[in-house]
């Protein structure tokens, strides 16, 4: 059996940055513990509200529409698809974005003072 040639540390690092995910959801890495359940709860509330609104209109519509409203409410037709947490971005892209933001922040005070004195 032939073995793969060993990877250099630089190749390993590049693969790691491309493959690993940042786990950065909703502002910081700890916020997902609260934000993900909140988003799911808000989606459920939205669907329940939509079903309740439809059921409250039953007395004003004909029989065919009543059957359709009851069936869709019973089978959670509005929930089809629903909310799902998206995948986080690759770690390399997250680091790149952070470095760009840091580069923009450097010297911001001196640039603003220079702008004010030129007026």
Burial (Cβ within 10 Å: 0-12, 13-18, ≥19) of residue 48: middle
Listed ranges 1-5, 53-57, 63-67, 101-105; the one with the highest mean pLDDT: 101-105
Render pLDDT for 12-70 as a digit per residue (tens, 0 to 9): 999 998 998 876 666 676 787 888 889 889 988 988 898 888 888 888 888 888 888 88
The model carries a pTM of 0.53
How far is residue 5 from each of residues 10, 11, 31, 79, measured CA to CA in Å? 14, 12, 41, 50
**In the numeric block, which tokens belong to residue 4?**
């793969």
Q: And the tokens for 40?
A: 């799911």
Q: Report residue 52 as tokens.
A: 């309740």
């Amino acid at each position: 059996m032939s073995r793969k040639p060993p990877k250099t540390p630089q190749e390993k690092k590049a693969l790691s940055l491309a493959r690993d995910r940042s786990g950065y959801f909703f502002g910081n890495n700890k916020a997902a513990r609260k934000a993900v359940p909140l988003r799911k709860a808000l989606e459920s509330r939205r669907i329940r509200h939509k079903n309740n609104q439809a059921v409250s209109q039953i007395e004003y519509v004909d029989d065919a529409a009543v059957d359709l409203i009851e069936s869709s409410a019973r089978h959670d037709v509005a929930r089809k698809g629903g909310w799902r947490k998206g995948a986080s971005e690759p770690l390399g892209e997250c680091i790149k974005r952070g470095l760009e933001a840091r580069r923009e922040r450097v010297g911001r005070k001196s640039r603003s003072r220079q702008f004010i004195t030129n007026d």
